[in-house]
Chain A
């Protein structure tokens, strides 16, 4: 069972990679250069195991790019390198077509970032926090500062709470203020590390709407998340990391499609049904009461024939069909079932 799952995973990964290559091929034809491009990007903290290992990431302009991976897979480390906060051990990173961290001074004013959650001055109120961050930007216009701060506060729904000391903010309010700091100016790239962390359902919805709105304005959004629903709902592209390595990247639709669906049969005779399906070469069978599932057969096999074989074999079929693979299936197939964080 685990073997077949792993095989299916490998197949899915290969599939998705093939598609991703095709997608990049198409990207070359379009005039827009990638917003983020890394080549062999590697980071070892204090000489340990690489936290990020030979990363070749390409984020197309105008995409909403989901950056996925289990805990400790190197997402935040990658983002820190892209933002020039840490130096790569080897490899190169380009953001907005310029090398990081060398070009930080010209690149970063055009990038809004939320890295590993918000960080605020607890003794300042929300508005003063934003004013301080805006003053730290040498290219921000002081004349429009207050207006821009107010606009950012309104955009994240904090206008009414902007006079409150940040230490009195709830987790979600802090997260919103962190987002507001990333939105102080029109940006070409937004880097959001788990932006919906701590938000209520309305907050998450608003963030999704906000991301779509920004994307429509032409901002490229690079967001890391564990919430696959979220990625599936807002992202056009995604990449999956595991243990510091990039497993796959490409358009989300392709990734989800690459997770092979499952054939599901509901019947009072699951034993016979399993036997017949096995005879027809189906793999990954599992039975749960009167419900039987198997890896979806290759396209060459006509489902109608399978159903006829079942009925012909005396199996009473209540339900018969293929369930589409979700991004979650693809994710688990790619990164493994294990819950433990890699050391």
Chain B
């Protein structure tokens, strides 16, 4: 261990980049995270299934009403199938019909797969230990993972909406939009409302995404976490449909999901929407903290 051998190692401590960390680094890691997510075949399979739903609905409606004219119609609030009747008159409504059809199961299932896999998948492939010794930092990694799951929520919702809009425009006439309240708004204004709706749906999934992330920190098995998350979703949907349990319904993360239709009222009816947002915020706070507490204290042995 002569002086000559030691000096390069000591030099390595001094120079600039070692100590300085760019404040934009977290964004760089997030970009890496999202681009990694978008390069998995699994992600494309999920998005393809979501994109296919509006196509199927569109074709089914088209065949069903081939003779022309949607007989049973009328602007009712809330429930999904209500939009179906309007699709034949205005393809624009396929966006809402498709969101209403995918929100109960397909959309959250896709989110559950991605969220459940977020940490557990990295743990089971062993890449988690290398991210941590890089060192990504446990809190930052968790935040970046959650942000990328939220990005996936938005991407998935937009895939459904855009696919529905395209199919609707192809198979049906499009034009001015009749709101649930009965007033008419221009097609441009309608598009804005559709975009807003997609955003609301994506936010609706935030609570469930946080649950998925928490489950993901509990296990070292990606498949296990995905299965548990999706299982939980189905359980909650069943609980939400049992009238005898109406007392707990307002606390179930899926309870206000269908409030997104209120965006299509004139003026927008915010009551249930804001209840939904508050509930999602609560879930994010509770399960986000739980995930953080678990992940920062966890032994990474995989």
Contact = CB atoms under 8 A, between A and B. Distances in A.
Interface of A: 30, 32, 45, 60-63, 80, 83-87, 104-106, 108-111, 113, 115-124, 131-142, 181, 186-188, 215-220
22 contacts: A80-B129, A86-B301, A104-B135, A105-B135, A116-B126, A116-B129, A117-B126, A119-B129, A119-B130, A120-B127, A121-B36, A121-B125, A123-B40, A124-B36, A133-B134, A136-B130, A136-B135, A215-B5, A217-B9, A218-B5, A218-B10, A220-B9
Contacts of B290: none
B21 A138 contact: yes
Contacts of A109: 18, 134-135
A140 B32 CA distance: 14
Contacts of B1: 30, 32, 60-63
Contacts of A45: 299, 301
Interface in B134-150: 134-137, 140-141
Nearest to B124: A119
A141 B15 CA distance: 12
Nearest to A141: B17
Contacts, number: 136
B134 A136 contact: yes
A122 to B, nearest CB: 8
B29 interface: yes
A220 to B, nearest CB: 7
Nearest to A76: B301
B126 A119 contact: yes
Interface residues of B, number: 44
B127 A83 contact: no
A119 B32 CA distance: 17
Main SS at interface, chain A: loop
Contacts of B74: none
Main SS at interface, chain B: helix
Contacts of A86: 299-301
Nearest to A142: B28
A74 to B, nearest CB: 13
Interface of B: 1, 5-10, 12-13, 17-22, 25-26, 28-29, 31-32, 36, 39-41, 125-137, 140-141, 297, 299-301
A110 B127 contact: no
Max chain B C-beta neighbours (<10 A), residue from A45, A86, A136: A136
A324 to B, nearest CB: 26
A132 B135 contact: no
Nearest to A46: B299
Contact of A124 (B39, B126, B134): B39
Given A217-B8, A218-B5, A108 B127 contact: no
Contact of A218 (B9, B25, B31): B9
B135 A137 contact: yes
Contacts of B36: 121, 124, 132
Contacts of B6: 32, 61-62, 218
Contacts of A110: 12-13, 18
B28 A135 contact: yes
Contact of B130 (A32, A61, A133): A133
Given A62-B1, A135-B28, A219-B9, A140 B136 contact: no
A173 B178 CA distance: 62
A86 B129 CA distance: 10
A139 B299 contact: no
A119 B299 contact: no
A235 B22 CA distance: 37
A136 B8 contact: no
A251 to B, nearest CB: 11
Nearest to A117: B126
B134 A137 contact: yes
Given A62-B1, A188-B13, 6 more contacts: A119-B126, A121-B127, A138-B29, A139-B21, A181-B130, A217-B8
Max chain A C-beta neighbours (<10 A), residue from B26, B131, B132, B133: B133
B136 A119 contact: no
B181 to A, nearest CB: 48
A215 B141 CA distance: 32
B240 to A, nearest CB: 36
B125 A85 contact: no
A60 B6 CA distance: 11
Given A105-B135, A109-B18, A136 B29 contact: yes
A221 B153 CA distance: 44
Nearest to B144: A136
A119 B18 contact: no
Given A30-B1, A85-B301, A218-B5, A136 B32 contact: yes
A146 B134 CA distance: 17
A218 B7 contact: yes
Contacts of A113: 130, 133
Contacts of B10: 218
A62 B21 CA distance: 27
Contact of A62 (B5, B18, B128, B140): B5
Given A86-B300, A136-B29, A139-B18, A218 B132 contact: no
